[in-house]
Each structure stands twice: as structure tokens, then as C-alpha cells.
Amino acid sequence: MGDRVPKGRLARGSKLGRLAAGQAIRGVGTRLSMIGRTEQARQVLSERSTLQAAQQLVTVLGGLKGAAMKLGQMLSVLDVDLLPEAHREMFRVKLAELRDQAPHVAFPAMRAVIEGDLGPMTGVFADFDESPIAAASIGQVYRARLRDGRAVAVKVKYPGVDDAVEADMRNLAMFSKLWKSMLPSAADTEVLEEISRNIGSELDYLREARTQHRVAARYRGHPFVTVPDSVGEHCGPHVLVTEFLEGEPYQRIRALPSADRDRIGELIYRFYISSLFADFEFCGDPHPGNIMLAADGRLGFVDFGLYHSMDPVHVEIERVCLRFAGEYRADELYDMWIRRGVIDPESDITAQECLDYVWAAAGWHLVDEELTITPELATGALILAVDPRAAEFRGMRQQRLPAEHVFSRRADLFTFAALGQLETTNNWHRIAREWLYAEPPVTEIGREVARWRADA
């Protein structure tokens, strides 16, 4: 990876000087190869201890309920081909079990939930299809028509799921030793509490209805993105009614020509990543199942149970850290991580390790070249972010991820994973510069969005 650049040499130059110094160290091929570090990720996954911990993890999650399915859905976007061949099928089967283990609840029981919140169904709905169109982690989704004629999606909690998820969250804390072996950076008590608090917030359908209404208002009239509004007067603690979004699922989007996938990839990036830095809010559940291509050509986003607000101070910390990494200012990145308590100053972690670690996990925002995101690349980034056992990252196992950054980092990594499923190409850094450096957009989509915002 080259010798570490002396601090004085970088400190003396302008920003352009620092960038030139960094580019003198690393060629384009080397910078690209830093992202995801797929070969190092393979080494991590080939270790017997990792495989045993991963097997334990999916076994434990298999004994949970709503939360297990949510985690299974998240893991399903990863590329198990990075695993040793002898273990791939076992993990495919176990992850499929987690992903697909939604309870099959007969409609009479679900009807009781609906009427418990809304009263007699005939007073609200003109038509109601009793066959669910989707099974979410904590409920089922139905298609219906309101008495005023509007087509709606009706998300209904499974009976008793609140207690089940709360029990799951308590169990996750009990399995902290297991998490420490499999996900070292997520084993801290504060981190587990943050995970529990946010996944538990998915149970609050009234909160989700308010959130979705706010986000839908923000994107109303957007040239490229649509968010169905909630129907607040027909939402309750256990029932969420929203406008129905007619569209093609992600699987169909994946089959589109590359130019269409590249355009859609940019929209996904802007919705899930740029929103954090523009609005200090973001959706913490970037999953292909929540993205569809609407009939009018816009890209639709649903499911706002894990929508998260972030203190602008913490957002600025993330921005500055990425700028330090992108400009190869290793010592300044290291100093900030010391101040934030991410790493222990008494440890033997070096500034160069910190720099290389950021590039492996988040370098796709930083490299000023076109990059095609593949499932392998995204999986490698996630593995090295949460389980940095590759030789040059071994010391990073002792890092402490501050709880306030847990879900923003999760959103970043799982957006990368969702884009990997799309195998989309872009110069992501050129888009990122809008929020990294407050520069004007250079893409056609970015310029059109900027015009729309100015006129809104």
C-alpha cells in the first residue's frame, strides 16, 4: 500500500497539493482495488472461526421471530460466493430460511387486528383483497380500495408481534459474546441498544405514518422519485394505510439495459446516501424489496419504519472523516478518531490503518473514477467493515463504533449492497462531491433535481 506520507509534507500543501500527493502514492488501479478488498474478505470468510461464528449467528437468528426475518432480509443482499465453496449452499439455505420465515397468519386473525384499530372494515374499505401481496418482517401487506375510491396498501401487524420483537431484542443483547466474535464493531452495549431502539421503532406504525407523510411531501412533484403518502386518518398502532404504488419490482429493474440501471443507481444513491447530508435524515432500510419502478417512470421508495434523523454535528463528523480519507490526510483522520473514542490512543493502530480501513469500507464515495458495483465488491466492503480480520486491519477489531453512527454506516453499506445487486456503474465520487464539498451537481439528474429544489 506504500509508505505512510509524512504529516508535514501533507500539512504544508493546499488541498490540491494534498490530493496530488495522495495520487502520487496510489494509481487508479490501486485505489479501485482498495474498495471492498474482496481477496482479504475471502480470507476472513475462509477462517474456521468465522465460519463457526457465522453458522452460530444464523442458528440463533433462526430461533428469533420478527427481528430475525429483518436481519435475514438484510443479509440476503450479500454475495455468498465469497464463502468457501463447501459452505455456500448451507449459508444459502439458512439465509433463505431467515428471509422467508414470515408467519402465515390466516385472514380472520389479521381482520381482527384491522378492526381493532379501525372499526368495521366496511366503514373504511370498499374492496379488500384478503390475499396478502407481501409479507414484511412484522406484518403482512394487503391491497385495498377506500370508500372514496383511492387504491391503498394496508400493512397489518401479526398478532402478538410487538412482544415477539421486544423479546428478540432482549435476546440479541444476551448473545453479545456471539456478536463480538462475528461482528466485533457491533458488540458494544451502546451499539446493541441503538440497534434495539431502532428496530423496535418499526413497531410504531403511527410514527411511521407521520414519517412517510413528511417524506412524501418532501418528494411531491420530484422529477425522478416518488414516495406514496400515508393516509393518516386510517392508520392506527397496528395498521398502516398508504397510497398504493403500482410498479415493477427490483428483480425486473435488474433486467433492464445497463444505461437504465446506471440512471436508477444514481437515484438510489441520492435517496439513501445524499439525503443524510442534505436533510440530516435518511432511511435506514436500503433493501431491494423497498424499491420499485413506478408506472410513470419515476423510482418509488416504500417502508419508512427505520427512518432515522441525525444530529447535524454527527453528520458533519462523517463528512469530515470522509474528506480526510479522500485527501489521504491519515494523521488528521487518526486524530479525529482518537478524539471521538473510536480507537484507543494506547493501541498499536496506525494512522495508515485508519485510512486504509475507510477506503476499504467507504472508498466508493472517494475514488474519482467510474466504478461498477458488483455483489462481490459490496460484500467485501461489509465484511471488512464489521469484521476486519485481514492482516492490515487486525488492530481495527478493537475499534468502537459510536452508537450515533450505527445506522448511518448500516445505511451506507446496505445501499452499496443493493447497488451491487443492480451491477450499476457511475462515478460515485462526482455525485458525492455535492455533499462532501458543497459543489454544484455535474450529472444531468443532479442538475434537474437542483432546478426542481430551487423552484419548489
Which helix (H) or strand (E) is 425 found in, with range? strand 425-426
List the one residue out of 271, 268, 282 whose CA is nearest residue 219. Answer: 271
Mean pLDDT of 31-40: 58
Helices (H), 63-124: 66-75, 85-100, 107-118
Give the CB-side neighbour count of residue 73, counting CA atoms within 13 A: 19
d(CA 383, CA 178): 16
Model pLDDT, residue 119: 97
What is d(CA 335, CA 272) in angstroms, rounded to the nearest whole number?
29
Does the pLDDT of residue 272 top 70, yes or no?
A: yes
Q: Residue 300 forms beta bridges with which residues?
A: 226, 292
Structure confidence by residue, pLDDT tens digits, 190-228: 555 666 666 667 789 999 999 999 999 999 999 999 999
Determine, yes or no, domain membership for 142. no
Residue 361 lies in a domain: yes
Rg (CA), the chain: 22
Domain with 433 in it: 7-40+310-455
- Mean pLDDT (the chain, rounded): 79
Measured between alpha carbons, how far is residue 56 from residues 73, 196, 381 in Å?
A: 17, 20, 22
State the Cα–Cα distance between residues 168 and 135, nearest whole angstrom: 19
Q: Which residues are catalytic?
A: 285
Structural domain contains residue 368: yes
* pLDDT tens, residue by residue, 348-389: 888 988 888 888 888 899 999 999 998 888 877 777 666 544
For residue 355, is it within any domain?
A: yes
CB-based burial label for 439 (10 Å; 0-12, 13-18, 19+):
exposed
The DSSP result for 227-277, as a single string, is: -PPB-GGG--SSEEEEE---EE-HHHHTTS-HHHHHHHHHHHHIIIIIHHH
Express each pLDDT in 8-20 by its tens digit: 333 323 333 343 3
**Cell (9 digits) for 429:** 465520487
Q: What is the mean pLDDT of residues 100-118?
A: 86
Any domain includes 421 = yes
- pLDDT the model gives residue 76: 58
From residue 309, give the alpha-carbon distance in Å to each of 139, 266, 272, 313, 320. 24, 22, 13, 12, 19
pLDDT > 70 in the chain, percent:
66
Query: Which of 145-159, 244-258, 354-368, 403-417 shows the lowest per-residue confidence on average (mean pLDDT)?
Result: 403-417
Backbone angles phi, psi at 254, to 5 degrees: -60, -25
Task: Provide the number of structural domains found in the chain.
Answer: 1
Report the distance separating Cα 303 and Cα 227, nearest Å. Answer: 10
Inside any domain, residue 419? yes
Q: Is residue 140 part of a domain?
A: no
Residue closest to 303 by CA, chosen among 134, 422, 445: 134
Is the entire prediction scored with pTM above 0.85? no
Output the pLDDT for position 358: 87
Look at the block and give the residue holding cell 465484511: 383
Within-domain flag for 271: no
